[in-house]
Amino acid sequence: AGGSWIANVYVSAEAGTWTVTGNYGGLIDTASLTVNGGALDHIIISPDSATVTAGDVQTYTAEAFDEFDNTLGDVTTSTSFSIDSAAGGSWSANVYTSATAGTWTVTGSYSGVSDTASLTVSVGSADHIVVSPDGATIIAGSSQAYTAQTADQFGNPIADVTGDTTFSIDTGAGGSWAANVYTSARAGTWTVTGDYGGLTDTAVLNVTAASVSYITILPDGVAIAAGDSQTYTAQSFDEFGNLVADVTDTTVLSIDVGAEGTWAANIYTSAKAGTWTVTGTCLGLTDSASLTVTAGPLHHIVISPDSATIAAG
């Protein structure tokens, strides 16, 4: 029964029905004392420590006690259960369905008192792989390293499988691979794919043009009639042929002296028939295009010689 005596006063502890015995000079008598549980002091949720695999469920119970640990009964159905928010998963009354791997704290609350328990969630079997990084941006000619990691159905990481993963990129991207390291070439937004034993994942790679390597004057090889005009454009490119910018406005255009004609910014109005070289210069870089000028429509005739002197006959 526990408890304690102060002379003839008994201070109770353990709930139950107990026998009180009085002894006076060998004369003995007994009485029955029933001790009921006291006021609610605390609860205990069970199990206190458990381990499950991500996706599995764990059922909890709650029991109420007074300050002397006398049970006040099962209070599971009236207890509110929760778990660390980062654990994810879901509750159905006192049954928790796990999700995120880790060691988490489960809390049960009943009538203003609470208790905690530890739940360890281990990773499940491999469900997919994750290729990283996703959404990287690099300059053409530079390299990007990728990693691959297996994960269970809830995204819990399992193991690094980079060394056993085959990486590839859209054909149009060009460039080259050295294991998991890609060296870029063509500018654009490309899809990188990792394949590990049939499990695949993709990542987006943005490749931007590198510094200017050369310019191009367009069009090249056109033919116009004398007096007609031709508009030219100039574009700058990096060493991989990626367009950097339209530089028409900052390009100085000219044509062979013998072609004559006139320029109005990037528009040439032709004069002399022939095949001429148009030259553009920008940023210290030059390029040329061929322009053929054909004779225009009949405008006049010239008879020759214009002046002559001869003897009669």
Question: Each residue of 103-131: b (16+ CB within 10 Å) or e?
Answer: ebebebbbeebbbebebebebbebbebbb
C-alpha–C-alpha distance, residues 132 and 130, integer Å: 6
Residue 235: the pLDDT is 98
Tokens representing 259 are: 């072609």
C-alpha–C-alpha distance, residues 126 and 79, integer Å: 35
pLDDT (tens digit per residue) in 151-164: 999 999 999 999 99
The mean predicted confidence, pLDDT, of the chain is 95
* Predicted confidence (pLDDT) at residue 16 exceeds the cutoff of 80: no
* Predicted confidence (pLDDT) at residue 35 exceeds the cutoff of 80: no
Residue 298: the pLDDT is 87
pLDDT (tens digit per residue) in 80-121: 999 999 999 999 999 999 999 999 999 999 999 999 999 999
Preceding omega of 297 cis (within 30 degrees of 0): no
pLDDT (tens digit per residue) in 52-76: 999 999 999 999 999 888 999 999 9
Residue 36: the pLDDT is 75
pLDDT (tens digit per residue) in 175-231: 999 999 999 999 999 999 999 999 999 999 999 999 999 999 999 999 999 999 999
C-alpha–C-alpha distance, residues 13 and 36, integer Å: 9
